[in-house]
Amino acid sequence: MTTTLTLNSGVTLPALGLGVFQSSPEETAAAVETALRGGYRHIDTAAAYGNERQVGEGLRVSSVPRDEVVIETKVWATDFGYDETLHAFDKSSRKLGLEQIDILILHQQAWNLFDRTIAAYKALETLLADGRVRAIGVSNFDERALDRLFDETDVVPALNQVELHPYHSQPALQAFHREHGILTQAWSPIGGITFYPGPWGDERRSVLEDPALGGIAEAHGKSPAQIALAWHLQQGRQVIPKSTNPGRIAQNFDVFDITLSDAELATIDGLDTGSPSGPAPARDFDKKSLFPIPED
């Protein structure tokens, strides 16, 4: 199974990285260090997660050479706008302790701020052109927002990071990405997102307790989480499972020997509910209601 993907910018990216969304600042440095020592070479964070500083710290304590690791972070909507986004790069760069950020993406689409979203993306293009970032992209964009971006900017995003797991596999968006050479990066790849009412209203069903996934896991002698990750990897998606638990960080990386049959892949594809479990791409943002990213 492929362990490395190549972005449309030519930058290579490990197919599996560590996510740190909802990793507390206290836990993040240790999780990053454990992951890097265990073979991970990609960490996905965001200014809005409040743990960029600890990601940088984990990277430094791990002793893994900087140039072997891909660090990805995101610009929050309160920092959209050309100058604001250049400044957001400076803030993230300072917190991470890195002069160059490997992948910088816009955290969300924001229709009522779309002119600022376009200006923010133009700032990413500037950062890419002068080498302060190695690849640029977006997160939580739908086809309409991507089309608008294509119309008004020059660089096709290297990736779009979206909610994607067996209960929300977004086949149409994936096809759109393929058509435009955009990598699909899956957030909540094992369906860990549980804090919003999902497709079943307030009833919460866990992907990891799904009987069909469980059956496949048993047949392979692997956990449901590992099977979900293999399903992504075999279909060419990039994944960033979050864990702060050393055993689960190791388990999630131990997936490259799994080969699912076409029938098993189709069974997992068939679990799609067509609805997100997490926040849908936000179409409107009241800038005032979003928390700002502090300088430090």
Question: From the CB of 232, what's the least distance to ligand A2P, in Å?
Answer: 10
Stretch that binds ligand A2P, among 47-55, 137-145, 190-198, 279-287 (CB under 6 A): 190-198
How far apart are the C-alpha atoms of 231 and 272, rounded to whole Å? 13
Is 59 a binder of ligand A2P (CB under 6 A)? no
Is 35 a binder of ligand A2P (CB under 6 A)? no
Pairing of strands 70-75, 101-106: parallel
Between 192 and 281, whose beta carbon lies closer to ligand A2P?
Answer: 192
How far apart are the C-alpha atoms of 234 and 231, rounded to whole Å? 5
Instruction: Find, among 173, 153, 59, the residue nearest to 106 by Cα.
Output: 153
Is 205 a binder of ligand A2P (CB under 6 A)? no
Positions marked active-site: 49
Instruction: Find, among 290, 294, 296, the residue nearest to 77 by Cα.
Output: 290
Instruction: Find, among 16, 31, 44, the residue nearest to 248 by Cα.
Output: 31
Distances (CA, A) of 201 to 163, 194, 195, 275: 17, 12, 12, 10
Question: From the CB of 229, what's the least distance to ligand A2P, in Å?
Answer: 8
Is 251 a binder of ligand A2P (CB under 6 A)? yes
Within 10 angstroms of residue 151's Cβ, the number of other Cβ atoms is: 8
Q: Which residues pair with 163 in a beta bridge?
A: 187
Is 241 a binder of ligand A2P (CB under 6 A)? yes
How many chain residues interact with ligand A2P (CB under 6 A)?
A: 18
Site map 107..126 versus ligand A2P, x via CB under 6 A: --------------------
Is 188 a binder of ligand A2P (CB under 6 A)? yes
Between 62 and 188, whose beta carbon lies closer to ligand A2P?
Answer: 188
Is 18 a binder of ligand A2P (CB under 6 A)? no
42 is in an annotated binding site: no
Paired tokens of 131: 């080498």
Is 213 a binder of ligand A2P (CB under 6 A)? no
43, containing H or E segment? strand 42-44
Residues that bind ligand A2P (CB under 6 A): 19, 188-193, 208, 223, 225, 241-245, 248, 251-252
